[in-house]
Amino acid sequence: MTANRFGTEITPEDIIETLSFFDSWEDRYKYIIDLGKELPALDESKRSDEYIVRGCQSQVWLVDHQEGDKLYFEADSDAFIVKGLLGVVLAAYNAKTPAQITAFDIDAYFDELNLLKHLSATRGNGLQAMVQKIQGIAAKAQ
């Protein structure tokens, strides 16, 4: 698995702090898109129906595996902004224990980012689908 920096070097606090520097949502979107560029490319063999996240307007793939007591995720999308949103989510969930994942207040995180108000309804639904998928994986692993 290709290690990604989300959840270890790039934390929710980092994203909240960086987004607070930008005055416009156009600049914030650019930053979120840049976050997506930090995600390692997903191997073509993992771009299959087995790993697709249902409920997203764009195609989103999420692959999980456990090492010790922590869950690790690989993710990709065919849309730049969605890759960035995956980065926002993985900052909260990647390289965490199932208990840490289920305990993390993702709604408060999104509120602090003021994110959902600035996404289309379909993007917001897709973001929630990603979160539900990861939380479901964590719940099964507990």
DSSP at 9: T
One-letter amino acid at 11 equals: T
Q: What share of the chain is helix, strand, coil (3-state, %, to 5)?
A: 55, 15, 30
Q: How many CB atoms lie within 10 A of CB 128?
A: 16
Q: Is 133 labeled as catalytic in the residue annotation?
A: no
Catalytic residue, candidates 19, 32, 35, 56: 56
Cα-flanking dihedrals φ and ψ of residue 127, to 5°? -60, -45
Cα-flanking dihedrals φ and ψ of residue 124, to 5°? -60, -40
Name the nearest CA neighbour of 141 among 69, 61, 81, 76.
Answer: 69
Which residues participate in catalysis according to the annotation?
Answer: 56
